């Protein structure tokens, strides 16, 4: 997809979703830069509390959560840098945190057929997957989760 097609596609995003998309792009760039160049201790604070899964007891706005989900997906599609699962999950977590919605970021590993380890990160709000849901998710052994 060339740059003019991408620009036109972004231009056609409804105004109500455009600002959160631009926020996702900015946050994703910041997260990607931080993961590449800063020590993990600096980034670890963004993850939240280790091995505590929070369920939201207050009523949630599913519309806001789906808007964040869509913004992260669009960001993955349109930005020129790599936004693998960990970057997407952390970006979504930060966007939800800004909207005062608790989420849990999971990090898991599995061994594939060739005895190589594969890692994956996903983000959930209660039982709703914000990022990282795929058909192989049950095969991943959860290593850590953060709320």
pLDDT digits (tens, 9 = 90+) for 22-50: 999 999 999 999 988 988 888 888 788 88
Q: What is the DSSP string of 49-75?
A: SBT------SPP-HHHHHHHHHHHHHH
In which region does residue 79 sit, left (phi positive, over 0), alpha (psi from -120 to 50) or beta (all else)? beta
* Cβ atoms 98, 47 nearer than 8 A: no
pLDDT for 99-143, tens place per residue? 999 999 999 999 887 778 999 999 999 889 999 988 888 899 999
Residue ranges covered by each domain of the chain: 3-146
Extended beta strands in 5-127, E state: 104-111, 117-125
Query: In terms of pLDDT, which residue wins out, 58 or 61?
Result: 61
pLDDT for res 70: 94
Mean pLDDT within 73-89: 91
d(CA 106, CA 42): 19
- Other Cβ atoms less than 10 A from the Cβ of 93: the count is 29
- pLDDT higher than 80, residue 59: no
pTM confidence score:
0.86
Task: Select from 28, 128, 143 the least CA-distant residue to 74.
Answer: 28
Average the pLDDT over 54-59 and give the result.
66
d(CA 140, CA 81) in angstroms, rounded, equals 26
What is the average pLDDT across 2-13?
Answer: 65
Give the tokens for residue 16: 């109500």
Q: Of 127, 128, 145, which Cα lies nearest the Cα of 50?
A: 145
């Amino acid at each position: 997809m060339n740059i003019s097609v991408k620009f036109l596609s972004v231009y056609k995003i409804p105004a109500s979703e455009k600002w959160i998309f631009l926020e996702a792009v900015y946050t994703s760039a910041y997260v990607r830069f931080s993961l590449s160049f800063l020590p993990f201790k600096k980034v670890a604070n963004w993850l939240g509390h280790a091995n505590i899964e929070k369920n939201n007891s207050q009523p949630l706005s599913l519309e806001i959560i789906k808007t964040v989900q869509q913004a992260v997906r669009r960001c993955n599609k349109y930005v020129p840098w790599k936004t693998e699962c960990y970057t997407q999950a952390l970006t979504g977590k930060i966007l939800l945190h800004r909207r005062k919605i608790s989420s849990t970021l999971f990090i898991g590993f599995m061994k594939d057929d060739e005895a190589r380890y594969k890692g994956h990160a996903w983000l959930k709000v209660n039982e709703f997957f914000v990022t990282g849901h795929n058909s192989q998710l049950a095969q991943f052994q959860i290593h850590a989760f953060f709320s």
